A and B are shown apart, each in its own frame.
Chain A
Amino acid sequence: MRANSLVMESGSEPGTDDAVPPQRPADPPRTPAKRPRRRPPLGLVLLALPAIAFFVVFSYAPMAGLVVAFKDFSISDGVFGSPWSGLDNFRYFFSTGDAPRILANTLFLNTLFLGATLLTGITLAVMLNEIRVKLFKRAIQSVIFFPYFVSPIVISIILQVLLAGVGGSGGAANDLLHVFNLPQVEWYTQPGPWPWILTVVKIWQLGGYLSIIFLAAITAIPEEVYEAGMIDGASRTQMAFRITVPLLRPTAAVLLVLGIGRIFYGDFGTIYAIVGDNGTLFPTTDVIDTYVFRSLRQLGDFGSTAAVGLFQSVVGFVLVVLAVLVQRRYAKESSIL
């Protein structure tokens, strides 16, 4: 476009007496200009082939199994031989009185987890960045990263010791309450505190992990920016909030979009390992994944579970698209797509 407009401008040179306006040159033929064909180098394709094969086999090919969501699945007839059942499998989940509560729990818990872990990750990263003694910094990094490797089963046992103790009528938390003459709480029969307990667990698990990602992003911030801040007389706190945090926005945006994509997935591992089949806690902790798992385990109904799985995926995809669009609209500079 730019080249064409230059040509147009040069077509009527200023100062000429020619009354006849210059003719607009005929449009060039619509066929695109012949460009040299860009071929991906074979070497790079070969390098990518194992990864492509991995995704094809483990991510795309299994999508064929999604037809089960629309079938009255029978083991002997197989995935493609079972009769079609329309939307019956979807009705199973949405016809339960539990569906609104389960959807609300899924959204609420995941929003809580996402917000809390990102905030903690950024805060820890900024704090770690301020530590100047290298050995101490590395030791702290290792310590806060460690919970990421702890299995949810181990976390559930730790929680039982803390909240219930042997036989379910004690626990360190209750011992502490006793010290302050406060009434004991039967944690495992009170659903109210559990979204917050689970959020604390998620922060403990992921805070350190995310802080390392943010710390890596901080190291990429040019030193000159801080030097300019120092010349302007900014304090360390001002530099942290005016330079570091704003420049972490692209990284936070990537993590946010990825998190939003999985917001309809209820972090099954952690929630099921900790809550299990404890029905008294379901009002605040039962999410789509735990509900589906129970259905599958109790009746082995693959059709209904595939239907809910498909619903989760579609909603997740829509949310990712929406998140990206919103980012593009309001924070184009940090948009990832």
Chain B
Amino acid sequence: MSANLSRRGFLAAGGGLSLAAVLGLSGCGDSNSDSSSGDGAKDLKLLLPGAVPDGWAAVLEAVNKKLQADLGFSITPQFINWNNYGSQALLKFTAGEKFETALQARWLNMAQLVGSGSLVDVGPLVTGGKYPNLQKTLNDKLIELNKWSGKLWGIPQVNSAGRIHHFAIRQDLAEKYGITEITDYPTLEKFWYDVKQRDPRVTPIALSQNQSNLTCVPGPVAMFNAASWENANRIAQSFSGGSMPFFLAENAKETGSSDPVPFWELDGVVDALRTIRKYYQDGIINRDALNVDAATTKGLFTNGQTASAWATTDGLSSTTLLPGLQKAVKGAQLANVVPLKGGKSAKPNQTFQADNFTVLNAKGASNERAMQLEDWLSIKENHDLISYGVEGKDWKPVGADKFEQLSTYAFPGFALCWRTSLERRSALMTESEADWFSWAQDYDNFTVDTFASFIPDVNPVKREEAQISQAFTQYGNPLFFGAVDVDAGLDKLKKAVSSAGLDKLQTELAKQADEYLKTVK
């Protein structure tokens, strides 16, 4: 063999390597091998958001031991940091990676994945009787209202019937100012101004950058929209999260015409924007909302540096906020404040659409096994194991439906195994939160919205939608956090969305919503 390599040989070798790599890459990208109905997968890969829970190795070992004994396979969840979850999960679908389940939602990329045929319609699987434990834990109304054009693209992950955004406040401070209970918005506003005046080192409420769509546009309530707390019967519709919200006609069901209007035309929204601007200037809300993340605002609250925090009726405020708060501030108390006019009899509108879904990857190794896993997790003993950890080490039961946490183990159950009827309540849950959580678990406490299961298809207007989303990030978010003058800011936003294709978006939404109305009985 010659010790030298000719130039031609050298180039040929390089070219060959390139070709091999390209072919290898295309093989990865376009793999259409479909084993989705197979049952040979021995180890299921799951995509979950967030950091690996403390003490996860011991819990996973216990889960896999039991799973192996019961069903003959194991799981290997992959935890992806929240900041990257959306893009990484999408890339994994795009690359044709083999995994069985993932967290998806409208606010992530679910619509796009449905459009591209990447998800399995789990409707027939859930209701077919093959997975009785799972079927038993999913309410019929939940399944029906989470179908998109008759298909269920994921298992809805909810622990209550309806979700109403509201506030967790420092009850000890409220009592210090002579306020025993806050039940309406004016009293809540007074509380914030009392905090500002009497505890100037405490910020009344801190917002984070991902809460811009919660401040003034009702869905059916908005944090600083007093009109929405008076009358929680309008829910904004948009093609995707973080984009242009529209309001559809209140009497659409009767007229058959959806007649969408931009959000600023709804009564109370511009007033809310002015209120937010005032709060910003008065120091009621933090001035760095555009830059801080949710973990930072949570930290500020648990350190006692803010007096209120965002909450929703998922029963998690006490667990996530109270231990840290009481550790940092002696004698601190927490209360959940839902300033709805009419309180628990208000019957606010709800679409009952789940915020999160566990979806099945159409290119997964075994959809059958993934459903078996979801069924297995719907058995209380198994659900408790993965949700709360090893009994005696991570938690201990308190009564039949409560638990006391013994370690810092925290599993993202909303991405895999939230079942309303199986969830245990934290023994730490405050009385006010327990009240509202119980209320939120009853479907009869809500009014079904006319457009409850309307999911607009973004594909016909995806270019315009992308450009409008950009305009919202630039002009909408500063407006929603009070960082800019309302008139000037709103004017800029209107101009930007108009040139980005607002008319086309509005026309397409009207067309799709009118079609939907024809299907509403």
Contacts and interface: CB of A to CB of B under 8 A. Distances in A.
Nearest to A46: B5
Contact of A298 (B18, B240, B463, B478): B240
A64 B24 CA distance: 11
Interface string A291-302: 100111111111
Contacts of A45: 5, 10
B225 to A, nearest CB: 21
A74 B112 CA distance: 9
A189 interface: yes
Contacts of A301: 462, 466
B137 to A, nearest CB: 30
A80 interface: yes
A188 interface: yes
A138 B18 CA distance: 45
A227 interface: no
Interface in B2-54: 2-7, 10, 14, 17-18, 21-22, 24-26, 29-32
Contacts of A37: 6
A31 B463 CA distance: 60
A32 interface: no
Interface stretch (A92-100, A175-183, A209-217, A250-258): A92-100
Interface stretch (A18-26, A54-62, A122-130): A54-62
A312 interface: no
Interface residues of B, number: 68
Contacts of B283: 167, 169
Interface in A278-321: 278-280, 282, 286, 291, 294-302, 304
A166 interface: yes
Interface in A73-100: 74-81, 92, 95-98
Interface string B238-263: 00101100000000000000000000
B466 A61 contact: no
Interface stretch (B113-121, B155-163, B316-324, B406-414): B113-121
Contact of A296 (B17, B29, B87): B87
B339 interface: no
B26 A79 contact: yes
Contact of B18 (A61, A76, A80): A61
A53 interface: yes
B290 interface: yes
Contact of B22 (A61, A78, A81): A61
A105 interface: no
A128 to B, nearest CB: 36
Nearest to B84: A297
Given A45-B5, A56-B17, A166-B305, A279 B475 contact: yes
B463 to A, nearest CB: 5
B469 A299 contact: yes
A28 interface: no
Interface in B393-413: none
Given A78-B30, A92-B463, A300-B112, A295 B484 contact: no
Interface residues of A, number: 57
A169 to B, nearest CB: 5
Contacts of A304: 463, 466
Given A56-B17, A65-B25, A160-B291, A280 B478 contact: yes
A167 B287 contact: yes
B121 to A, nearest CB: 14
A280 B484 contact: yes
Interface stretch (B90-98, B327-335, B513-521): B90-98
A166 B303 CA distance: 12
Given A277-B477, A304-B466, A167 B291 contact: no
B466 A169 contact: no
Nearest to B289: A168
Interface in B80-134: 86-87, 90, 93-94, 96, 109, 112-113, 115-118
Interface string A130-169: 0000000000000000000000000000001000101111
Given A97-B499, A160-B291, A169-B283, A279 B473 contact: yes
Contacts of A297: 86-87
A166 B362 CA distance: 46
B267 interface: no
B240 A299 contact: yes
B242 A164 contact: no
A64 B19 CA distance: 10
A261 B203 CA distance: 47
Nearest to B300: A166
A244 to B, nearest CB: 41
Given A56-B14, A80-B30, A186 B463 contact: no
Contact of A189 (B209, B240, B467, B478): B478
Interface string B449-461: 0000000001000
A41 interface: yes
A79 B109 contact: no
B288 interface: yes
Contacts of B2: 39, 42
A304 B467 CA distance: 12
B502 interface: no
20 contacts: A40-B5, A40-B7, A52-B17, A56-B18, A60-B18, A60-B21, A61-B25, A64-B26, A74-B115, A78-B32, A78-B96, A92-B463, A166-B300, A167-B206, A168-B288, A168-B291, A188-B291, A277-B209, A279-B474, A279-B478
Ordered nearest first, which 4 A-B pairs have the shortest CB separation? A168-B288, A168-B287, A61-B21, A39-B4
Interface of B: 2-7, 10, 14, 17-18, 21-22, 24-26, 29-32, 86-87, 90, 93-94, 96, 109, 112-113, 115-118, 203, 206, 209, 240, 242-243, 283, 286-292, 300, 305, 362, 458, 462-463, 465-467, 469-470, 473-478, 483-484, 496, 499-500
Given A77-B116, A80-B29, A167-B287, 7 more contacts: A38-B7, A64-B22, A160-B291, A169-B287, A189-B287, A298-B240, A304-B463
